[in-house]
Amino acid sequence: MRPVRAVLVKNTSSVTDVWSSAMAVGLEPATELAPVPGIRIGTIAAGIRRPGRLDLTLFELAPGSRTAAVFTRNQFCAAPVTVARHHLAGMPPRGLVINTGYANAGTGDAGEEDAVACCRAAAAALGCRAEEVLPFSTGIIGARLPNDRILAALPQAASVLAEDHWLDASRAIMTTDTVPKGISRVVRGGVMPVTITGIAKGSGMIEPNMATMLAFIATDADIPQALLQDLLKEVVAVSFNQITVDGDTSTNDACVLIATGRSGVPLKAILEPFRTALHAVCEGLAQALVRDAEGATKFVTVEVSGARTGDEARDVAYAIARSPLVKTALFAGDPNWGRMIAAAGRAAHKSLDTHAVSLRLNGVCVFRDGAMAPDYREEEGVAAMRLDEIHILLNLGAGRHGARVWTSDLSHEYVRINGEYRT
């Protein structure tokens, strides 16, 4: 399967951050995202960390909206994750409040108090209860939120609520991202068209369960709560949980799916086309995170086939995708297939018949029958690895299961960005 290209929006921020010299790989900018009836968004520059940039976002959800979410599995989860889980378990949300700049992670009881205070202020601005607001934060770990600025700015965010502010929201949630990320799809087939729009942020500390990412996806379809949660878990498993940049799982990951029901179209009337469109949105956003990975110069698909189990295929794929030696070879354009089979060998679950294994780089067979392919020519491998998009296909020759992971290379720029992140 060919990678799905993410539909993205241009970054029109006047603020240039230290990482802005990095270039995203193969992203096609879009000029608009479709509003979702029942969702209003307000974004402002609250001066949370960098003056003059959008950094605070408020979502207002229409009454009757249903919300599903999945969160990080990192045991050091951030305060807003703890509060959001608690609030979501209690009652349907009427609002989301999102800040960038500071993650509010590793901040103890005071951090939870800060997150709850943000919910109270957002609720006052929206006219709902604090328990009906979900908080989200992204940025530096270990520092408390500048709540004086956030609380003072939330009424202003509420004053600019509008359905067509998805583009601004995609910019406002960015941290080290170089390009805001958003995708819209329209599903037809029912009485009325149904819209799906999603935005996401993240470019480093990316690893499944979930990644240093926030993603917010909304639709005006009418979807029962239990089915909404099932759909979210289904699409996350094959999108946001199939990516890795650096093997690090963040403290703040969250993916939210909201169904306002405002179209009046029940999901059962458009189930399959809706599922296809939702998969496309989430897969496109997930790939966009990798294409915009910190310092990335390559977008890489690692595909493993012929495994004995799905877990084995997944473990082998991730071993290749996570390997610093493989990732630096990708950056150099070096067809160092030895690093790839070495990574596969340490991840395979049982004894492996190495003579049954084959490896291809963008279609060029470099390894088979236990050794370098006899017809392989180094110049072919070099040409394959010089491309911006690389497909690594490893067949273990041991079974019928497979897995696929999207990753990036590891460049000098990645080190610089993360070395300078807190300065």
Q: Is 63 exposed, middle or buried (0-12, 13-18, 19+ CB in 10 A)?
A: exposed
101 contacts: CB under 8 Å, gap ≥ 6: 48, 49, 50, 55, 138, 139, 140, 175
**In 6-43, which positions are buried (b, 16+ CB within 10 angstroms) versus exposed (e)?**
bbbbebebeeebebeebebbebeebeebbbbbbbbbbb
- Of 212, 219, 244, 249, which one is the catalytic site residue? 212
| One-letter amino acid for residue 50 of the chain | R
Asked if residue 359 lies in contact with residue 367, where contact means CB atoms within 8 angstroms, the answer is yes
Q: How many CB atoms lie within 10 A of CB 120?
A: 16
The angle formed by the CA atoms of residues 44, 202 and 60, to the nearest 5 degrees, is 40
The angle formed by the CA atoms of residues 315, 318 and 324, to the nearest 5 degrees, is 135
Is 176 known to be catalytic? no
Q: How far apart are CA 397 and CA 394, in angstroms?
A: 9
Q: Strand 95-102's sheet: what is its strand order?
A: 39-44, 56-61, 95-102, 133-140
What the block records as the tokens of 295 is 């310092």
| One-letter amino acid for residue 104 of the chain | N
Note the Cα 78 to chain centre separation in Å: 17
Catalytic residue IDs: 212
